[in-house]
Amino acid sequence: RQGYLNRSKECTVRVRTIDGGGYLTIKGPNKGATRIEYDYAIPESDARSMFDDLCEQPVIEKNRHKIDFAGHVWEVDEFFGENTGLIVAEVELESEDQCFEKPEWIGDEVTGDPRYYNASLVTHPYVKW
């Protein structure tokens, strides 16, 4: 699960739970396909309280699958709830111009399309596209 405490273009603040842990992430503005990001571990109980008391509703629910392919790890998110049916894959690169091999199961390039940002899916869920 992940929820948002702030969703502005200048600064996004989210809380997330993964495998029994909680995380607070702060992201700066997009600069091309990159952005500054800070990630902090927090108690899972704090994260769950933030979901209920502070986060914009609904929170995002998804499963993340990590897939090794051609020397890179792809993170594939399968969404649920109001975003059921949406599957998004991303790969972290050293730089925007780094060459990499795309798996055959990758669909359209959506980098830069704000509809696919997790923060956008709170107010504009996939089922309403």
Q: Which residues are designated catalytic?
A: 4
Tokens of 116: 């696919």
Please report the sign of the dihedral spanned by the C-alpha atoms of residue 87, residue 68, residue 18, residue 28: negative
Nearest CA among 87, 129, 123, 93 for reference residue 108:
87
Q: Beginning with the edge strand found earlier in the chain, give each strand of the sheet holding 37-42 in spatial order.
A: 2-7, 12-18, 21-27, 37-42
Contacts made by residues 90-98, CB under 8 angstroms, sequence distance 24+: 96/32, 96/33, 96/34
